[in-house]
Structure 1
Amino acid sequence: MDLQDRFLNSVAVKALLAAGHCKAAERTAALFTRDGEQGAYSLYDMQHMWYEVAAGRAHTARGPHAAGAALKKFTAVVQHFADIHEDQFDFHSYCVRKGTLRSYVSMLGMMDRLYGHVFYSKAAAGAIRVYLKLYDCPPGAANGTDEETLLASMTPDDRKKYKLAKKKEEKERARKAAEEKEREEREKREREKAAGQKGGKKANTASSKREPDPDPDGAKLAATADPLGEAAKLVEMLVRHAGDRLASHLLAAEVALRKGRLVVALGAVRKAAQVAEGGAAHPDVHVLVVRLALAVHSSPPEHPVVRSVVATGLTTLLGDSSPAQYAEAWRITHGTASLAHRVAAGNAMVLLGAAGGAGEQQAATTAAVAHVTAEDLSSSPHDHVQCVEVHKLLRNTWGDATAAERWRTACAAAFPHSRYFGGAKLMALDPTYDFENMREAFGKLSF
């Protein structure tokens, strides 16, 4: 591949991020940055938003240990918009003084719509989801309970395989971390040497002007004492400036439910039902309606006026039905419309079962698994990403390893080229191919 082709470079970066090779993607993008300077710094200076959003999502997919890196990318995009908003003040007096009133009015209109930009919405939504995960599962909290539940649902042979695979994964992660550190040090020496040969003392001085980032991996961002408060700030901006997008109101409801602000959550759910395609039939809206109803039932507002407002609002959503009756009617009417609808119906079953006690929860989980896995993957095209999420839901959240394996087998037949599901036609990779060193690896590719 031509290393000087910017378009192919961008395509390769997107593919690497989609595959989870974040470091390799950054080094590939750095092929078009200035010599003697780290790629991440140049990409930030150029306000390379599509890259930062894609990188943030890739880091989010890596799991809780990469929350800091994900926040680093998402908040970089948020900061870009703050910088753009701040820069407008340089033009107020200039436009008036020069008499360019048409341009001035155009700029004012752009500033009014600035925070409604799609990249701001994507970055803010990504950061909010990471903050919510940090709130639900703080980094310092023990996470052995979920793993114990998962292990308890496995057979002895599966449990042994799981532990061996986990130990192997930890060793591989440690090996890659050591190699990554060594590679970064080597590349830093090469950059400094190249900068010195190209620009001499002047180049060295220019590259040394930038102060080192005090939080390169976003550890301080992930260690915030109030992740829910940080999420609430971003949600407020999304609702105010991107109120026509469903994600804004879904996330507003998520934050409000965690804060216990039921009136705010009710307003967000009702607004989401108005914005969503299909209204209350939308899968995400349905799950939120059930969660809101259960939250009101378990912790009703103390103030009588607030209690009356919430009760009236719930009536407009549920009608005269109880949460269980509403969920069952929704399942019968909409629960088989798509895989997303099946998952929403299953999640509602599990939520209602959990509210009824341990016995009901087990029965509800069994019914939810049966409802979701009844989807015929051969009947129509399905989304691979969504099928992967369903597999993780069955295996990790609902703890049914047997159902997860049946789902994996069905998906392997539906997606024969899938590496995740182990499809029969997946492309074998050269074992000597190194994704983490794309300068050398590109020489092994042909297009």
Structure 2
Amino acid sequence: MPPTTQSPSQQLPSRENGLFKKLVRFYEQKQYKKGLAAAREILKKFPNHGETLAMKGLILNSMGKKEEALESIRNGIKNNMSSHVVWHVYGLYQRSDRKYDEAIKAYKKALQCEKDSLTILRDLSLLQIQMRDLEGYKETRHQLFNLKPGQRQSWIGFAMSYDLLGDYDMAYSVLEEFRKTQQDRPAQAPDKPYDNEHSEFLLYQNLVLREAELYEDALRHIQTHEKDIYNKLTLAEIKYDLYMRLSSYDRAETILKDLIERNPENKKYYFMLEKCLNLTNNDEKSNLYENLIEKYPRADAPKQICLQFLTGEPFAKSIGSYLQKGFQKGVPSLFQSVKFLYVTSEKVQIIDSLLNNYLNNLTKYGTFEVSSDNEEIEPASTLLWLQYYLAQHYDYLGKIDTAFEFIEQAIRDTPTLVELYMFKAKLFKHAGDFQTAASWMDEAQSLDTADRFVNCKCTKYFLRANKINTALEIAGKFTRENSSPVDYLREMQCMWFELEAAKSYRRLKKYGEALKKCHEIDRHFQEFIEDQFDFHSYCLRKVVLCAYVDMLNLEDHMKGHRFFRQAAQIAVEIYIRLYDHPLSEQDNDKDDNLANMSASEAKKIKSKLRKQQLREQQEKQKQIDAERKKKEFQRHRNKDDGEEEKIKEDEIIAEKLERCEKPLEEAMRFLQPLEDFSANFLETHYLGFEVYYRRKKYILMLRCLKRMKKLESNNAKLHLCLMRFLKLIETEPINDERLRTLIDEELQTFDIKQGNSIKKIEDLNTDFLKNNFNSLIHRAEAAKVMLLINPTNNLKTIEFLTMLDPNFTDQTIKTCSNIYEGMQLGDYGLIENSMLEKYRNECHRLWPQANIFQPNSSLNVEQSQSSPPSYSSATTPPPPYSSNDIQTNGGKKTAT
């Protein structure tokens, strides 16, 4: 690491120079105490030696002393700016802080001092590929190639730099030249008969040819080197793809039949075979799958696929046979495997008729079919699984009363089957009763406490019931001992839990905690992006090149994952609400109902709130103190063991998040990745419009409107946003003539013109309602437009909004819940309690089990763990259970 030439003032005598070499070695071996001792000894005689100061700073940085490290490194640079060592060290420091742009600048400065340093060039190339500076990466790999042409990594890295830039011809030429040098490779040792690295190299070379669309060359290449490629499955799939592109369908068919023989449960191969044989007629497909079912009688895939295109009597025969075998074997996932058929009403009727026929025959005769032949009597478990399927069947069709009947009968017959309790919990969830659903899922979990899947389901149900502490206790059964479940789940990057917790906190209006979970999910994805850094050199060294290219493509779109998308949407929605209703304005009255209480009741409630806040603060302080002690202990242990301390992330504090000074800027932090990676979702552009509307960004609002129109031209939210935009430009005239002209041109793409002028908002809203008279969702958004037009006529708007009609096609519990929550949050203006109560009663009549429509419903985090409530048979389906269904379990009464 020391430079070959130095200024006279920075040259060390031979003894100190030897100490400096030891200092470097101590750092590389992580013997930090010895390294610091060596640095001090040099600095006693030469206190201004730049490279020693820099190395001392590097060691201090590894020990977690960031501020001292940076000061020492900067002093080293000041004393010897012409040394590549000090700049390299500064780059390493910036890289450890994940400031990659600054690290790249430091490495380039180091190369100006020592242009042929292999170590600096390698480190620079890793940062350039991490930051996707592909042009810079190509130049750096070219330098490394010139310096070390005998190394395999030099050739492969140089070729890959061209491949990533799309110059496939050059990439293939470099790879081919390298392959020619490998023709005289030594024979493999007896204990290693396969050269997997060379096999992976050939697959990557073929990938480059296919990316260049040189399919004939790729086919010749794969045929020439087939014996050296040991991944036979990938080889066969590549050959099939090439034969199809070159219209050699017979050869492609032969390969596909071999692949199906290898794995008859892979549906992808069957669809590929249909494409290869160019089958468009259902009769042709039917003949093909009859032969395949006969050839592979135990495979489910061909039986499921043929159900897609069969109709009438052939379909009834096939689905009947498939269902009967499922009931006989007791397949819990049988309904999921045929749920795709429920999009066709004709097939649903056939399935419904068959199921009722089976139920009648099994109940009376013990067989599926009644015929003159002496058929075997089915075991009792067959009827059980039929009842389980019927419950799922009617639940999916929206007949929840009938579904309850079947699941209750199944539980009475077999009170020890976990799946029955889990599905009963699911029925309560669909009915809107999340509290009872959580209780039943807890009962299911108690039947099999060693099942992690049931434990996760139980945790999720308690989160949906807003019982966050109870959910943590359930999840803690499978977390590490002597550690907090929250810390363990965060460490394990358990994002489904954090996402459900964020939703729960948002429902409880604990926006700070909800934002904290969203930021934690954002950090997880940032860690995914950072973690790829270690693979840049590993993949080249181990020659796993195809997987490496796939990883780079995945990382480029990592934040398009649904977990990040949902967390980002929650965060943006909360920041918008915090911008509209800052918490500081609501501090004086945290309970919405205090104004309606007497003075004594309000005083009691406030006292309880103060005590609860005090307890929460004490618990948080205990957790913070325990975490600090743990970190201090870990830091001391790291110092003693000479381990490098990991980068410490700043603690996320919920109170700061919910009281941020600029909520819209924080919202942009989540909105930008949504627009980059989730542009195919209308919700992305709706949230974008909401943010830009508040920032008065006209062009960006128009962009969001156009993208929403492209995705769904008759969307209710698009109508609301368009009306708000028209109202904005009407009330706030635009002085910039060019901007006004641009807006007028873009608005012509929307159907809002009448002659040369734009229609009135009232007329547009009326037309919108006429075109969507049977949609409750469109009606709700039109109500917001009515309020926008005439804010004073609030009563008429609420009466229009709260009118329910069975003719509405989307009058569901979810839609009405969203409207009710919006009314409570003020999305439809100020609403009198009487009107709100009237709407709640109407919804309660339609969905009596839903928690949100219950009288005096509460959204406390921890509610009493009482037994599930019973419902009046006059307003609900048959009771979920009766007093006879209560049995003693471990000394306490539980519902079964």
TM-score, normalising length: structure 2: 0.41
Kindly name which structure, 1 or 2, has the bigger radius of gyration based on alpha carbons: 2
Q: 2:673 corresponds to which residue?
A: 237
3-state SS of the aligned residue for 1:37? Answer: coil
Q: Is the CA contact 2:682–2:711 (under 8 Å) kept in the aligned structure 1? A: yes
Q: Deviations over 1:266-308 (max 9, x none)?
A: 11011012113xx1x2111111111111111122332111111
Q: 1:154 corresponds to which residue?
A: none
Q: 1:417 corresponds to which residue?
A: 849
- Quick one: structure 1 residues 5 and 188, their matched pair in 2 at CA, closer, same or farther if it must change by over 3 Å? farther
Task: Choose which of 785, 791, 810 in structure 2 pairs with 1:348.
Answer: 785
Q: Deviations over 1:64-100 (max 9, x none)?
A: xx11101110111111111101111211121122211
Higher mean alpha-carbon deviation, 26-35 vs 211-220, is at 211-220
1:290 and 1:27 map into 2 onto residues whose CA distance is 48
Q: 1:402 corresponds to which residue?
A: 834
Task: Compute the displacement of 1:174 (Å).
Answer: 4.2
- Quick one: structure 1 residues 143 and 173, their matched pair in 2 at CA, closer, same or farther if it must change by over 3 Å? closer
Task: Compute the displacement of 1:134 (Å).
Answer: 1.6
Task: Choose which of 497, 507, 523 in structure 2 pairs with 1:51.
Answer: 497
3-state SS of the aligned residue for 1:316? Answer: coil
Task: Choose which of 761, 779, 786 in structure 2 pairs with 1:323.
Answer: 761
Higher mean alpha-carbon deviation, 308-317 vs 241-250, is at 308-317
Question: Which amino acid in 2 is paired with 1:319?
Answer: K
3-state SS of the aligned residue for 2:763? Answer: helix
3-state SS of the aligned residue for 1:420? Answer: helix
Q: Deviations over 1:80-135 (max 9, x none)?
A: 11110111121112112221111111111211221111111011111111111121
Q: Is the CA contact 1:345–1:368 (under 8 Å) kept in the aligned structure 2? A: no
Q: Is the CA contact 1:49–1:119 (under 8 Å) kept in the aligned structure 2? A: yes
Question: Which amino acid in 2 is paired with 1:94?
Answer: Y
1:141 and 1:79 map into 2 onto residues whose CA distance is 30
Task: Compute the displacement of 1:182 (Å).
Answer: 7.6
3-state SS of the aligned residue for 2:849? Answer: coil
Task: Compute the displacement of 1:168 (Å).
Answer: 5.8
Question: Which amino acid in 2 is paired with 1:121?
Answer: R
3-state SS of the aligned residue for 2:574? Answer: helix
Question: Which amino acid in 1 is paired with 2:462?
Answer: L
Question: Which amino acid in 1 is paired with 2:688?
Answer: A
Q: 2:549 corresponds to which residue?
A: 105
Q: 1:438 corresponds to which residue?
A: none
Question: Which amino acid in 1 is paired with 2:577?
Answer: K
- Quick one: structure 1 residues 187 and 159, their matched pair in 2 at CA, closer, same or farther if it must change by over 3 Å? closer
Give aligned-pair identity as a percent. Answer: 24
- Quick one: structure 1 residues 83 and 116, their matched pair in 2 at CA, closer, same or farther if it must change by over 3 Å? same
- Quick one: structure 1 residues 348 and 102, their matched pair in 2 at CA, closer, same or farther if it must change by over 3 Å? same
Higher mean alpha-carbon deviation, 250-259 vs 413-422, is at 413-422
Task: Compute the displacement of 1:184 (Å).
Answer: 8.0
1:442 and 1:22 map into 2 onto residues whose CA distance is 26
Task: Choose which of 725, 729, 740 in structure 2 pairs with 1:307.
Answer: 740
1:377 and 1:164 map into 2 onto residues whose CA distance is 44
- Quick one: structure 1 residues 140 and 75, their matched pair in 2 at CA, closer, same or farther if it must change by over 3 Å? same
State yes or no: 1:86 paired with 2:515: no
Task: Choose which of 34, 38, 49 in structure 1 pairs with 2:484.
Answer: 38
- Quick one: structure 1 residues 189 and 114, their matched pair in 2 at CA, closer, same or farther if it must change by over 3 Å? closer
User: 1:195-234 to 2 correspondence within 5 Å?
Assistant: 215=651, 217-234=653-670
- Alpha-carbon RMSD across the aligned residues, in angstroms, is 3.8
Structure 2: which 5+ runs fail to align? 1-445, 639-644, 856-862, 868-889
TM-score, normalising length: structure 1: 0.79
Task: Compute the displacement of 1:329 (Å).
Answer: 1.1
User: 1:132-171 to 2 correspondence within 5 Å?
Assistant: 132-142=576-586, 160-161=596-597, 169-171=605-607
1:116 and 1:90 map into 2 onto residues whose CA distance is 22
State yes or no: 1:288 paired with 2:721: yes
User: 1:6-21 to 2 correspondence within 5 Å?
Assistant: 6-21=452-467
- Quick one: structure 1 residues 233 and 390, their matched pair in 2 at CA, closer, same or farther if it must change by over 3 Å? same
Q: Is the CA contact 2:708–2:718 (under 8 Å) kept in the aligned structure 1? A: yes
Q: Is the CA contact 1:391–1:408 (under 8 Å) kept in the aligned structure 2? A: yes
Q: Which has the higher contact order (CA 8 A, sep 6+)?
A: 1
3-state SS of the aligned residue for 2:554? Answer: helix
State yes or no: 1:254 paired with 2:690: yes
Task: Compute the displacement of 1:47 (Å).
Answer: 0.8
2:891 and 2:686 map into 1 onto residues whose CA distance is 42
1:408 and 1:326 map into 2 onto residues whose CA distance is 30
Question: Which amino acid in 2 is paired with 1:31?
Answer: K
2:555 and 2:839 map into 1 onto residues whose CA distance is 48
Question: Which amino acid in 1 is paired with 2:753?
Answer: G
2:516 and 2:836 map into 1 onto residues whose CA distance is 33
2:730 and 2:682 map into 1 onto residues whose CA distance is 26
Count of aligned residue pairs for this structure pair: 403
Q: Is the CA contact 2:565–2:678 (under 8 Å) kept in the aligned structure 1? A: yes
Q: 2:451 corresponds to which residue?
A: 5
Q: 1:362 corresponds to which residue?
A: 792
1:98 and 1:13 map into 2 onto residues whose CA distance is 41
Question: Which amino acid in 2 is paired with 1:235?
Answer: L
Q: Is the CA contact 2:774–2:807 (under 8 Å) kept in the aligned structure 1? A: no
- Quick one: structure 1 residues 175 and 224, their matched pair in 2 at CA, closer, same or farther if it must change by over 3 Å? closer
Q: Deviations over 1:199-225 (max 9, x none)?
A: xx99xx89xx99999756512222322
1:338 and 1:146 map into 2 onto residues whose CA distance is 36
Q: Deviations over 1:409-445 (max 9, x none)?
A: 111111121233237xxxxxxx96379xxxxx99764
Q: Deviations over 1:324-355 (max 9, x none)?
A: 22112112221x332211111101100111xx
Question: Which amino acid in 2 is paired with 1:338?
Answer: S
3-state SS of the aligned residue for 1:290? Answer: helix
Task: Compute the displacement of 1:7 (Å).
Answer: 2.0
2:891 and 2:842 map into 1 onto residues whose CA distance is 34
Q: 1:198 corresponds to which residue?
A: none
